[in-house]
Structure 1
Amino acid sequence: MKVWRAFKSLGWGQHKKGWRQHGWRYPFLFWAVARLFNKPWYLLRYPDVAAAKGSAFAHCLLYGLDEGRELSPRISISGYGYRYGGNKWWGPAQAVIHYWWWGRWRGLSPMPCFPGSGAQAALNGQPCLAVFAHTVNPRLYGAERSLLDALRTLETLGVATVVVVPNVSNPGYVATLQRVSRAVYAIPYGWWREGEADDATTLAAIEALLEATGANAVYVNTLTLQAPSVAARQLGLPVLTHVRELPAHDPGLCQALNSSVEGVVAHAVAHSDLLIVNSQCTAEAFQHRGVPVAVVPNMIDMPVWQTVPALQFDGQRPLRIGLLGSLIPKKGLVDFAALADALARKGVAVECCLYGASTPDLEALLHQRLKMGKEGYLIHKGYAEDPQDALANLDIVVNLSHFQESFGRTVLEAMAAGRPVVAYDWGALPELVTHGKTGFLAPKGDVQRVAQWVETLAREPQLLIAMGHAGRQRANALFSAKAHQVAMAQALSYLFPVATVEAEPQSDVSVSNK
C-alpha cells in the first residue's frame, strides 16, 4: 500500500521525467525509494524542502538523490555507493537500487565502515576519540582543512581516532581522513535546530558505533552538531566541542540553527564537557559559563608553504590584490568591488582578483557593474583547488568580512606565503595581523581606509616585501605544527592524559598588535 500511495502521489508528468532520467531502471528505483524513504526525517533534515510544501517523496526521487541528499537515517546512500561500487563510485540511484534489490539480502552494511591507515590504527591501549565531521562537501573549506590538521596533531600526540561523516560526497576527502584515522564511518546526520528532537535511529546508530569502537570521548567539529553529544552523554562519555564560530556576528548561522545568539552559545555549553576554540576572540564569547575553554589556534604546515615563491614587486606592473573564499556578501564581496573602484579613482594600477567558486551573488554583482560602467575591474579567477596556487599569483590579500571571523584561515595562509594582509580590525583578525608590520588593519566597513593602505603598499614596494617577510616569520613562530600540538595536548589534558610536547623557543617576532 505504501508503494501504491507513493505512486499515486506522483502525476504522470513526473513519472515521464523519471523515465527520461533513469530509463528502464526507473521502476526499480521508484520501488526502492518508496520502501526506504522516511518522510518526517527528510523534511526535518532539509528545511528547504519542507518550506516548498510540495511532495517530499517526489522531491527525493526526482531531485534529492541527484543533489546528494540522503533519504533515510537508516542508510547512507553516498557511503554505500562508495564502499560497494568497486573501483567506480556509484551514483545515488544505482546505489539505492543495488542495496534494495541485492545488497540488503547479502548483508551489506547500509552505513559502511572504511578502514583507516593512520599511525595509531594498529596500536592498542591509547585513548580513542570518536571525531564527528560537521559536513562533507565536494570542495574543502576552512573547517574541513582545520579538522584534518587536528587529526594529524592527535596522531602525533598518540591519540587514536575514528572519524564519522554525514555523507561521502567527496571521496577524495574521505580517503584523506582514512589516512589519519583508524576508520571512517558514514552515518546520515544533520545539524541541530532548536526545538527539534534527534532522530532515534540516528542516536542508536551513533551509540552502537561508540560502543563498538571503544571510544573514550567524543570530538565534535564545530558547534552545529547535537546527536553525537546526546549519544555520548547516554553512554557516560565526555564531549569535546571544537568551536569555530562567533554566533553574535553570524546571523546566517543562527538562522540555520533556528536559534538566537544566546541560544547557540548556551547549547554548545550545555552539550560539552570541554570547549576548544580557535582564537582568544572566540574564547571570550564562551568563557565563564561553567565549562573549560581551551584556545587551540589553527596551524599552518610551514614546510609546504615555504615552497610558495617569495614576493617580488618593483612597481613596474599592476599590483595584484586578492579576496579568497566564498564569494558572497557577508565575506566582503561588495566591499571588494568598492575597493577596486576606490583604487581606480586614486589612479593606482591594480588587478583585483576573486578566488572562489562562482555564486549567484557574484554573477549579479558583475552584471550590475558592467551595466553601470564602474571604474574598477574585477577578475574572477575561479576556485583554486590548492590555495598556494592562488597566493603565488598575488601581492596582497584582503579580508573584508562583514561577520566576525573566529580565526581567519586565508589570512594565516597569506602570511605563510609571505603576502601582507589588509583586513578589517575586528573579530580574531587582529590576533593574526600585526598592524604596521605584517599588514594593515582598518575599521570595519571603512573601504576608503583599506584603499589608503593598499595605495601605500603600491607606492612602497620595499615595505610591501618587508611586510610579507614579517608575516611569514610570524606564521612560522606562532602557528606551526609544534605550537598546535602543544596547545592541543594542554586542551586534552582536561579529559585524559596525553603525550606532552615541549614548545619551541619563541623567535623575536612581535606578537603584539596595534
Structure 2
Amino acid sequence: MFNRQWYLQHYPDVAAAGGNAFAHFLLYGLAEGRELSPHISISGYGYCYGGDRPWEPSSVVIHYWWWGRWRGLDPLPCIPGDGAQAALAGQPCLAVFAHTVTPRLYGAERSLLDALNTLEKLGIAAVVIVPNASNPAYLAALQRVSRALYVLPYGWWREKEASDASTITSMQTLLGATSADAVYMNTLTLHAPSVAARRLGLPVMTHVRELPAHDPGLCQALNSSAEGVVAHAVAHSDCLIVNSQCTAEAFQGRGVPVCVVPNMVDMPAWQAVPAVQLDAQRPLRVGLMGSLIHKKGLVDFAALADALACESIEVECCLYGAATPDLDALLQQRFEVGSAAGNKKTNLFHRGYAEEPRAAMANLDVVVNLSHFQESFGRTVLEAMAAARPVVAYDWGALPELVEHGKTGFLAPLGDVQRVAQWVVILANDPKLLAAMGHAGRQRANALYGAEAHQAAMAQALNYLFPVATVEAGQISGDSASNDF
C-alpha cells in the first residue's frame, strides 16, 4: 500500500528531513492525514464508506487491508453526485481537477463552486476530482453540482521534477471510466492531469487565478521562475481561462487562446445583506478580510488603524480571517508597545475566521484591500460591492477593474496608507456619499459579475473545447465565441 518514492515527492518536507519515509508515515504522517500512494486515498475511503462520521486514518488503513480489499471496495472511490446533469446523457462532460482541499474555504474553492454551478446552467456535466477529502462540507457542496466526485491523491507541479508515473496512470484510468470529453484544471499549479489527458487525446483547459510575476511565494513553491510558471501553463493547455484583464495580459500572445471569465457573485444572496446604516452611537467599522498575512497588507492595515486613531472620528478596524503567525506577531508587538507607553486602548480588532462571509460583511461599513502583491481579481472586493459596501484599495493589479474611483469607492497609490486614511475619513464624514457608493457598487456587481454575465463568458470560453448548448434564457448560443485574445 505504501509508495516510498511517491511519498517523498508528494511531501518535500519529509524528503528534506531525511530518514525513513515509511517510519515517518507510521509515526507522524498517518495522524497528520497524509496519503500512502496514488492508488489509495485514506481520506476519500473514509469519507465514502464511513457514513455520517468519516473514519480516522488508522481505521481506514486497517479496514481496507483486512476487509475492504477482499470485498472489492474501491481504494479511490467514486462518490455519486446529484447535480442537475447527473442523470442525463448525451451532453458534454468535463473532468474538473481541483487544486487543493483544506479545512477552510478560500477564494479558489468558492470560485470552483461558482464555475460548477455555471456548467450546470450551460447543460454540461462535470465529474470532480479532488486530492483529498479533508473538508466534508466542501465535498458535499461539490457533490451537489456534479455527476460524480473522485478522491485521488495528487500534488502540485514543480519544475525539474517529473510527475509520478503511477499518478498519471491512475488519472488515465479515471478519465477513461468517466468518458470525459475534456479536462478542466482549476489552477495552473497542476501538471499530471494535463499529461494524462494528452495521452488520451483530450483537450485541456486551465483556469488561471494567479499572477506569477507578482507572487514570489508561488514561484518558490513551484521551484520555478515567473516566466517558467507562465510557459508551463501555456505549454500544457489548449485554452486558458483567466479571471481578469490584468491576468490576461500576462498570458496573451503565446499561441494559446486566452478567455476572460471574471469571478462571479451570487447576487440574490448578497442583496439580502442590508445596506450600510451609519449610527452616531457606534464607531465606523472598517474591515480587511481574507488571509491575514504580510503580503495581504496586514502591516498596512495596522498603520491605517494608527492613522485613523489620530483623526476626529471614532473607528474600529476589524480583521476577519484565521489566525496566522504574521497576525500573532503583529498583535503581540502592538500590545508590547502599547503597554510600554501605558496605553492599552486599541482600535484594531481580530474578529476571527468567518465561515459565512456575508455575516462578516454585514458588520462592516467600509472594506479595504491593501495587498502588496498584484491581485489577479479581488474576490472580497467584489463581495463588498455586492453587499453595498464602498471599497478603498490600492490602484494596481486587477482592483481598478472592479473599483470605479469616485463612484463605487476610492483608489490610492500602492503603499500610501495616509491617502487610504483620507478616503476613509471622507466616507465617515459623509453618510450620503457612503450610501451612494455602496449602492453604485452593488449595481456594478450585479451588471458585470452576476450569474448571467458569468454564464455568457464561460460559454464563450468552452466553445474552444466543444459546442455549448443554448442557455435557458436564450441569450447564449454555441457559436458565439467572440472574446478578446
- Structures share fold, TM-score greater than 0.5: yes
Q: For structure 1, which segment, 386-395 or 57-66, has the greater mean C-alpha deviation from structure 2 after superposition?
A: 57-66
Name the counterpart of 2:480: none
CA drift of 1:87 comes to 2.6
Which secondary structure does the structure 1 equivalent of 2:303 belong to?
Answer: helix
Distance 1:331 1:277 in 2: 21
- Aligned equivalent of 1:394, options 338, 361, 364: 364
Distance 1:322 1:404 in 2: 19
Matching of residue 248 in structure 1 with residue 213 in structure 2: yes
Matching of residue 289 in structure 1 with residue 245 in structure 2: no
Name the counterpart of 2:375: 405
- Aligned equivalent of 2:420, options 450, 457, 463: 450
- Aligned equivalent of 2:30, options 65, 78, 88: 65
Which secondary structure does the structure 2 equivalent of 1:382 belong to?
Answer: coil
Matching of residue 372 in structure 1 with residue 337 in structure 2: yes
CA drift of 1:347 comes to 3.5
AA aligned opposite 1:125: G
Does the CA-based 8 Å contact 1:315-1:459 persist in structure 2? no
CA drift of 1:252 comes to 0.5
Alpha carbons of structure 1 residues 377 and 53: separation in structure 2 relative to 1, 3 Å: farther
CA drift of 1:503 comes to 5.5
Name the counterpart of 2:101: 136
Distance 1:343 1:54 in 2: 53
Name the counterpart of 1:92: 57
Name the counterpart of 1:429: 399
- Aligned equivalent of 1:489, options 459, 471, 482: 459
Which secondary structure does the structure 2 equivalent of 1:346 belong to?
Answer: coil
Which secondary structure does the structure 2 equivalent of 1:467 belong to?
Answer: helix
Which runs of 5 or more residues in structure 1 are unaligned?
A: 1-35, 505-514
1:297-446 to structure 2, matched below 5 A, reads 297-373=262-338, 376-446=346-416
Distance 2:61 2:414 in 1: 49
CA drift of 1:275 comes to 0.1
Distance 1:376 1:404 in 2: 30
C-alpha offsets along residues 326-372 of structure 1, whole Å, 9 cap, x if unaligned? Answer: 11101111111111011112243110111111111111110000001
Name the counterpart of 1:462: 432
Distance 1:58 1:472 in 2: 55
Higher relative contact order (CA 8 A, sep 6+): 2
Q: For structure 1, which segment, 53-62 or 122-131, has the greater mean C-alpha deviation from structure 2 after superposition?
A: 53-62
C-alpha offsets along residues 356-405 of structure 1, whole Å, 9 cap, x if unaligned? Answer: 11111111110000001187531111110000000000001111111111
Distance 1:128 1:101 in 2: 36
Distance 2:271 2:377 in 1: 21
Distance 2:475 2:449 in 1: 12
Name the counterpart of 1:52: 17
Matching of residue 278 in structure 1 with residue 249 in structure 2: no
Which secondary structure does the structure 2 equivalent of 1:336 belong to?
Answer: helix
CA drift of 1:204 comes to 0.8
Matching of residue 189 in structure 1 with residue 159 in structure 2: no
AA aligned opposite 1:255: Q
Does the CA-based 8 Å contact 1:232-1:238 persist in structure 2? yes
AA aligned opposite 1:304: A
Distance 1:50 1:232 in 2: 29
AA aligned opposite 1:344: A
AA aligned opposite 1:285: A
CA drift of 1:39 comes to 2.0
Does the CA-based 8 Å contact 2:97-2:184 persist in structure 1? yes
Name the counterpart of 2:229: 264
Which runs of 5 or more residues in structure 2 are unaligned?
A: 477-485
Matching of residue 82 in structure 1 with residue 82 in structure 2: no
Name the counterpart of 2:482: none
Which secondary structure does the structure 1 equivalent of 2:110 belong to?
Answer: helix
Which secondary structure does the structure 1 equivalent of 2:149 belong to?
Answer: strand
Name the counterpart of 1:227: 192
Does the CA-based 8 Å contact 1:352-1:379 persist in structure 2? yes
AA aligned opposite 1:454: V
AA aligned opposite 1:119: A
Distance 1:438 1:176 in 2: 32
Distance 1:431 1:122 in 2: 39
Q: Relative to total residues, which structure has the larger helix share, 1 or 2?
A: 1
Matching of residue 149 in structure 1 with residue 149 in structure 2: no
C-alpha offsets along residues 152-200 of structure 1, whole Å, 9 cap, x if unaligned? Answer: 1011111111000000011111111111111000110000000111111
AA aligned opposite 1:390: A
Does the CA-based 8 Å contact 2:384-2:390 persist in structure 1? yes
C-alpha offsets along residues 416-459 of structure 1, whole Å, 9 cap, x if unaligned? Answer: 00100011111111110000110001111111111111111111
Q: For structure 1, which segment, 401-410 or 343-352, has the greater mean C-alpha deviation from structure 2 after superposition?
A: 343-352
Q: For structure 1, which segment, 474-483 or 64-73, has the greater mean C-alpha deviation from structure 2 after superposition?
A: 64-73
Aligned pair count reads: 469
C-alpha offsets along residues 204-231 of structure 1, whole Å, 9 cap, x if unaligned? Answer: 1111111111111000001010000000
Question: For the aligned residues, what is the CA RMSD?
Answer: 1.3
Does the CA-based 8 Å contact 1:232-1:239 persist in structure 2? yes
Does the CA-based 8 Å contact 2:82-2:144 persist in structure 1? yes
CA drift of 1:48 comes to 1.7
C-alpha offsets along residues 228-273 of structure 1, whole Å, 9 cap, x if unaligned? Answer: 0000001110000000000010000001100000000000000000
CA drift of 1:315 comes to 4.3
- Aligned equivalent of 1:500, options 434, 458, 470: 470
Distance 1:446 1:381 in 2: 25
Name the counterpart of 2:479: none
AA aligned opposite 1:198: S
Distance 1:44 1:257 in 2: 13
CA drift of 1:316 comes to 4.3
AA aligned opposite 1:38: N
Which secondary structure does the structure 1 equivalent of 2:160 belong to?
Answer: coil
Name segments (4+ residues, structure 1) moved above 4 Å: 501-504
CA drift of 1:137 comes to 0.8
Distance 2:436 2:386 in 1: 14
Distance 2:158 2:457 in 1: 31
Name the counterpart of 2:481: none
Name the counterpart of 1:113: 78
Distance 2:411 2:79 in 1: 45
Which secondary structure does the structure 1 equivalent of 2:70 belong to?
Answer: helix
Which secondary structure does the structure 2 equivalent of 1:323 belong to?
Answer: strand
Q: For structure 1, which segment, 75-84 or 313-322, has the greater mean C-alpha deviation from structure 2 after superposition?
A: 313-322
TM-score normalised per structure 1: 0.89
The percentage of aligned residue pairs carrying the same residue is 78
